[in-house]
Amino acid sequence: MLKPLLRKELKELLMEKSILVGMIIVPLIMFPLIGGLTSLGIKSAVTHVAGVQEIGLVDLDNTDLSGRLLPNMLMNNGLKPIILDCRERGECVRIAEDMDLKLIMIIPTGFSENFTRGLRSKVETIYILKSLSISEITACEGLSSKLMKSIKSLAEKIHGRGLNIEFLKHPADERSTIIYLGRSLQAPIEALASTLPTMILGLPLVAVMVSSYASSISATSIALEKESKTLELLLSLPVRRFTILLSKLLGTIIIVILGTISFMVGFAIYGLMLASAFIPEAGVETSVSGAVQTPFIGSIFTPSPIFMAVVLASIFLGMMMTTCLGILIGVLCADVRSSQQLVGAVVTPLTIFPFFILIFSSIESLPAGIRLALLLDPYTHFFLAVMKGFIGDLPSAAISLAVMVGATIIMLAIGSWLFMGERLITMRIGFRRKSI
């Protein structure tokens, strides 16, 4: 008896359009697309670290070990050292930027003496980022790995394997500084790789997911009227249709404002906790010559007021845009279930695809076709506005915000046009299985 009942249950479930599309067809389409887009970023990262990479070398020790043995070991591990003639940190960074170098290695005075005695030495590294994509950060991680491997190989060559095993495992400490568009952060490159993508793109993605609830609310508010057959009664009242639509829109906007405030409070707490973890200690050495200077102001993780304003505007416009999309979907759908399913089917691809692409590579480095397709997606501009605001590129952030405003107006205009006519009653997009 169980077998016929199971066959009947499976048959009914597979004949349900929402299950067939949502759980079987959509994954077969979305995951290959996401995998293909993700592979573009991974291939870009591999290309950055493949082959011999040039790095800047500042030798303050001026010994045979630092001037000949270490550079030769770097060459053996795929790093080509370029000697930089500079003394001050800012000057070294400017020279490296002109030569398109991602890494500067600074060998301090006394490095060779400690190294030959089997004492753990220190090297200073400066990573210069051009973008905040995973491919760029992965390239710098690869340079760091090759650098430390070269130092370990040099320790084994000089001391053999009879010295302190702890020294051979960790012959030198790397003190890293990350430079991006004039901002600096004293932290390992691995810390940036694990934290920054979450801050720049992960938080906006969470905001989009939160705003999807607003779109579900706006879509449900209209679809519920259709499903419960109260829409005709509502339209028969001596009230303009625009007033009815405006009431539904304003009700959802209040939810959007509350969601924006809640998100910004949580984001502020997150930002303060994150920034405090990377505040440099007082009295650190920040010049190449070793002089003790004041720690850098304006860490990469310290949000500026302009950035916070851009984030606030982006979050609000993103929620408004999603809300208007929900109203449009609610007008088109026949019932609550169909509206909720269509909201997920529309919002998810529009947000997931730009997220996975932009987290691995910058939009400027993408092929023209993919870049154009992304720019046509209004949610791409949601991510771009946050990213451009973070780096202080206000004109680009303003353009992305303007695109979001335009997309919101267009969707609201289409929804209003459909709401005003007879299509409001006659349009019945549904996913329910027709009864036989």
- What is the C-alpha separation between 313 and 108, in angstroms, rounded? 46
**With contact defined as beta carbons under 8 Å apart, do 37 and 356 qualify?**
yes
Give the model's pLDDT for residue 194.
63
At 55 the pLDDT is 92
Query: Max Cα separation, the chain?
Result: 95
Please give the backbone phi and psi of residue 178, each rounded to the nearest 5 degrees, phi first. Answer: -110, 125
Can you tell me whether residue 158 is helix, strand or coil?
helix
The sheet carrying 172-180 orders its strands as: 79-83, 53-59, 103-107, 121-129, 172-180, 183-185
The predicted structure's pLDDT at residue 386: 82
The answer to whether 346 touches 330, Cβ cutoff 8 Å, is no
Predicted pLDDT of residue 73: 92
Report in angstroms the alpha-carbon separations of 200 from 178, 206, 240. Answer: 16, 11, 44
How much is the pLDDT for 118? Answer: 83
Residue extents of the structural domains in the chain: 13-44+197-426, 51-180
Helix then strand count (H, E) for the chain reads 19, 6
**Whole-number pLDDT of residue 332:** 78
Bridge partners, residue 285, by sequence: 292
Neighbours of 301 (CB within 10 A): 20
Instruction: Give the pLDDT confidence score for residue 211 in this predicted structure.
Output: 66
From the options 3.30.1490.20, 3.50.50.60, 3.40.1710.10, 3.30.420.10, give the CATH code of 51-180: 3.40.1710.10
Q: What are the per-10-residue average pLDDT scores of the chain (436 residues)?
A: 71 60 63 66 54 85 90 91 86 89 91 87 88 76 89 85 72 86 75 63 65 73 75 75 77 74 71 56 39 37 71 83 82 75 80 79 79 90 84 85 93 79 60 49
Cα distance between the two ends of the chain:
24
Specify the pairing of strand 121-129 against strand 183-185.
unpaired
> Burial level of 339, CB count in 10 A (0-12/13-18/19+)?
buried
Residue type, position 158, single letter: I
Phi and psi at residue 75, to the nearest 5°: -65, -40
- Please give the pLDDT value at position 283: 37
The two three-digit tokens of residue 25, written as one number: 């067809």
pLDDT for res 72: 92
177 DSSP β-pair partners:
126
CA separation for the pair 401, 403 (Å, rounded): 5
* Close Cβ partners of 319 (under 8 Å, ≥ 6 residues apart): 207, 210, 211, 214, 256, 259, 260
**For the whole prediction, is pTM greater than 0.75?**
no
